[in-house]
Amino acid sequence: MTRQPEGGEIEATRRPPPVKGVNGWAEYQWILLGAAWLAGLVLGYAGFAQHAAAMGEQASPLDLIYLTLQLIPMNSGTVSHPVPWELEIARLLMPIVAAYTAIKALTSVFRQQIDLLRLNFYRNHAVICGLSRKGFLLVEGFRRAGWDVVVIERDEHNDWLEACWAMGAVVLLGDATDTTLLRKARLHKARCVIAVCNDDGINAEVAVRARALSAGREKDPLRCILHLVDPQLCDLLREREAKLGQAATLRLELFNVFDQGAQILLQEHPLTSKGKGGEHAAPHMLIVGLGHLGESLLVHAARKWHAQRGGDGRLHFTIVDQEAETRVEALKTRYPQVASDCRLRSYQMNVRSPEFQRGDFLSEMKNPGEIDIAYVCLDDDTLGLQASLILLQLLRKHKTPIVVRMAEKGGLATLLQDGEAGGSRFEHLSAFALLDRTCTPEILLGESAGLR
């Protein structure tokens, strides 16, 4: 059976979205440069041929090629009048194109050295460790806010490197836990360091290195922000920091896109009951995909309901997941209080299966309309959209709101938004761009994100 993605983040292998303006030019500049070279060579050859004919001189093709190439160092452009217009253009175009090509080539060759030189002047900048989708969105956000940004990335073939360079970020290739490389990034002078590598252990190690390098800071403490998915590692780090105490030179902060996304999602699409009990009735929530985001949604919804109602009524959760039984049992072990305060009904099925498409899990309910809201939390955008469209058909007559998790605003999320704007067919279906909503300087730093 095909493995069904259930809520974790898949790092895309596709190219990053183009950066407006700068990256658009970067994408086409070599095509335009090649066209300029071709135009210069053709016009130069034609111009010299016409000039030789006008002067009554004999010039072989090799002579004409030689003269055309001599336009690059500006050695052959001075000729007697009349000068053909083709040659007029070529003797101006060729040196300009040659100079631009040389500058671009030298910049590419010595880019690392140029970046290191720029770093000598950096103060209060952001250091981002790990160029995943999360990292790229943060680079984009900080650069848009006017920050100087240093990126540390191990993979020299990472698809997002060119886009970061195009946005003006300094990129250092190497291990983010390397103390020497962190010194090169001037971590001791930075305003914040954000570790968003795809390994929780590496992110935690960055914090250890940052603590040592931040010693001796005279002004504000270095904000060290780590992305951690493993809840046990989060608890371990918090316990360690509590014992050691927050250093005067470093302020450790932990974040998780799934946990943060769940909170934002519940704010924008809150739980409200449409049952007989009115607003005081406990809502019924359908979760498709009990991965990281699905679990965070369930836990935060339960805690929020308990805080608001003081435990009056038990939230009802219907869970559909390929590994529903195992994941529900694991959740009960980790959050016994949440499990005891909620009614959990699980259905172990693949969203690609005929059982899901027929809505077998709904047929067991006395009234499928009792579902107040449905969240589709699969980590595959295409599969998530397919599952949400199936739910839309199954629950259409009940007008149940459905929210599908998407990675970013582009692609299928944009298609869905266009569909919403185009009519009532997708009236009750909404997309939530998880990474776009959580990987922003404003979310990580608060109101201070735009201050320089």
More confident residue, 320 or 314: 320
Which of these ranges, 83-97, 381-395, 402-416, has the smallest mean pLDDT?
402-416
E strands, 310-390, are 315-321, 342-348, 373-376
DSSP state of 254: E
CATH 3.40.50.1820 fits 262-438, yes or no: no
Segment 433-441 mean pLDDT? 91
Query: DSSP letters along 350-368, please?
Result: -TTSHHHHHTHHHHTSS-G
d(CA 137, CA 165) in angstroms, rounded, equals: 14
Same fold, 122-255 and 262-438: yes
pLDDT of res. 346: 92
pTM higher than 0.85: no
Residue-wise pLDDT for 183-242, tens only, equals 999 998 999 999 999 899 899 999 989 988 988 787 788 999 999 988 777 777 777 766
pLDDT of res. 219: 78
Q: How many CA atoms lie within 13 A of 292 on its CB side?
A: 17
**97: part of which helix (H) or strand (E)?**
helix 85-109
If phi > 0 it is left, if psi is from -120 to 50 it is alpha, else beta; for residue 146 that is left
Instruction: Give the three-state DSSP class for 355.
Output: helix
Which of these ranges, 74-78, 96-100, 236-240, has the smallest mean pLDDT?
236-240
Residue-wise pLDDT for 34-75, tens only, equals 899 999 999 989 989 998 888 888 888 898 898 888 888 888
Radius of gyration of the chain (CA): 30
389 in Cβ contact with 430 (< 8 Å)? no
Residue-wise pLDDT for 389-426, tens only, equals 999 999 988 889 999 998 877 655 566 655 454 455 67
Instruction: Give the three-state DSSP class for 282.
Output: coil
**What is the CATH number assigned to the segment(s) 122-255?**
3.40.50.720
**226: part of which helix (H) or strand (E)?**
strand 222-227
Residues of the chain above pLDDT 90, percent: 39
Side chain identity, residue 8: G
DSSP state of 82: P
315 in Cβ contact with 305 (< 8 Å)? yes
377 in Cβ contact with 275 (< 8 Å)? no
Side chain identity, residue 371: I
| pLDDT interval class at 11 (50, 70, 90) | very low
What residues does each domain of the chain span? Answer: 22-109, 122-255, 262-438
Which of these ranges, 10-24, 56-70, 357-371, has the smallest mean pLDDT?
10-24
Strands 373-376 and 284-288, bridge-based pairing: parallel
Instruction: Count other Cβ atoms within 10 Å, centred on residue 381.
Output: 23
pLDDT of res. 142: 95
Residue-wise pLDDT for 243-287, tens only, equals 555 567 888 888 899 999 999 999 998 877 665 545 556 889 999
pLDDT of res. 25: 55
More confident residue, 335 or 423: 335
> Across all residues in the chain, what is the average pLDDT?
83
